[in-house]
Structure 1
Amino acid sequence: MEIYLIRHTAVHNPGKLCYGQSDIALKADWQTSFNDLKKELGKETGDAVFYSSPFERCTQLAQFLSDDKYAVDDRLSEMHFGDWEQKAWTEIDQAVLNLWMADYVNFRVPGGENFVNLYDRCAQFWDDLQLQTQPKSYILSHAGVIRSLLAYILKIPLDKVFQLDIDYGAITKITTSGKNGEYQKVNYVNYQAADHNTKNQILL
């Protein structure tokens, strides 16, 4: 199976709000970004299945790319930031924020998740995906989800995942084969369709 992990395009967030599991508008030029992705993927999507996070910044793109034929899966949601959702980062209690920044893997955001929670549900989604039979899958989601999936596939320690750049609108491709997708290869990471450059190759 060919699997394309696509982060939603850039958001409009002038107030620098925390918005993991909150809806937030895309930037005004979203149509240009959508068209770039459509051009890059358009010839390859005919027999594909599309999955999306439930948040509008992802479903809007899923609808555009799939002609409104996609499935929403809550496990593809970004990390839940609990009491911090829709607050400016500067408004969050800095003592608590520092605790999270010192150990974001294990420290649970008040009223929300830690990174292990995000990783576990992403890993469950991935395992279920490998039981499917479609030749191509497109996953419209978030940076945290894509980092979690790459960490799961490549066995990257969770405290190292932010060393992976996952930009807005970037594409990561993974190929799986064998029974239940036991053979997995990362073909490229963080490719920007608008750049038209050589796809980044990950070195193992």
Structure 2
Amino acid sequence: MEIYLIRHTTPKIAKGICYGQSDIDLTSIFKKEAEEVHQLIDKPLDYIFSSPLKRCANLANSFDVSVQKEPRLMELSFGDWEMKKWKDIPQSALNEWMENYVTQAPPKGESYKKLKARVVEIFKGIISQNRASTGIITHAGPIRAILSHVLNLSLKDTFTLKIDYGSVTKISLVEGHFTIDYINKK
């Protein structure tokens, strides 16, 4: 079984804005970026699971294959911080969260640990279907959570993994064993 973890293409949002589950549009170069993503996939996909947010769903719909929108593949919820400038979030609250983001949630948001629990739950369901080639179109947080699960990495250590917009990470599952073919292919 081959699993392609695909990060959405470039979102249309100013730098310095906190966003996670906000449903934002894509830039004007979406079609070009989508074509580039298609070129990164080694073989035709049998099925795609996608975050329902536009920045993922639009890319999922660009493939000629069935797509299942799955809310558990959404990015981290930043709660009250969604769509605020990072510089406008009180520095003391931001510092406290940054020191404990694995277990602590932003106000009315979720922790990285909770994100991992929901993402791993759907990931296990996806691999139980044992399709030959599956795409998962999602966000950097869920991709890191899946890699944390597959590689047995601590959540904190996953931020050393670079996950670019429009990148592909390939995992193979053979006889119950995972191998990482590549991470962040662009």
Give the shorter-chain TM-score range: over 0.9
RCO comparison, higher one (Cα < 8 Å, 6+) = 2
Aligned to 1:186: 180
- The structure 1 segments of at least 4 consecutive aligned residues displaced by more than 4 Å after TM superposition are none
Q: CA deviation at 1:15?
A: 5.3
Q: Secondary structure at the match of 2:149?
A: helix
Aligned to 1:150: 147
Q: CA deviation at 1:133?
A: 2.8
Q: Indicate which of 94, 97, 101 corresponds to 1:100.
A: 97
For the residues of structure 2 that align with 1:128 and 1:134, how far apart are their CA atoms? 11
For the residues of structure 2 that align with 1:66 and 1:162, how far apart are their CA atoms? 32
1:22 corresponds to 2:2: no
Aligned to 2:33: 33
CA RMSD of superposed structures (Å): 1.3
TM-score by length of 2: 0.95
Aligned to 1:116: 113
TM-score by length of 1: 0.87
Q: 1:56-86 CA deviation, whole Å, 9 max, x = no partner? A: 000000000235x200111100001100111
For the residues of structure 2 that align with 1:29 and 1:153, how far apart are their CA atoms? 32
Structure 1: gaps (5+ residues)? 193-204
Q: How many residues align?
A: 186
Q: Secondary structure at the match of 2:136?
A: strand
For the residues of structure 1 that align with 2:14 and 2:126, how far apart are their CA atoms? 36
In 2, are the aligned partners of 1:122 and 1:149 still within 8 Å (CA)?
yes
1:132 corresponds to 2:129: yes
For the residues of structure 2 that align with 1:25 and 1:98, how far apart are their CA atoms? 29
Identity %: 37
For the residues of structure 2 that align with 1:164 and 1:176, how far apart are their CA atoms? 20
In 1, are the aligned partners of 2:40 and 2:168 still within 8 Å (CA)?
no
Structure 2: gaps (5+ residues)? none
For the residues of structure 2 that align with 1:146 and 1:78, how far apart are their CA atoms? 9
Aligned to 1:13: 13
Q: 1:138-192 CA deviation, whole Å, 9 max, x = no partner? A: 00000000000000000001111100000110100000122xxx21111100000
AA matched with 2:63: L
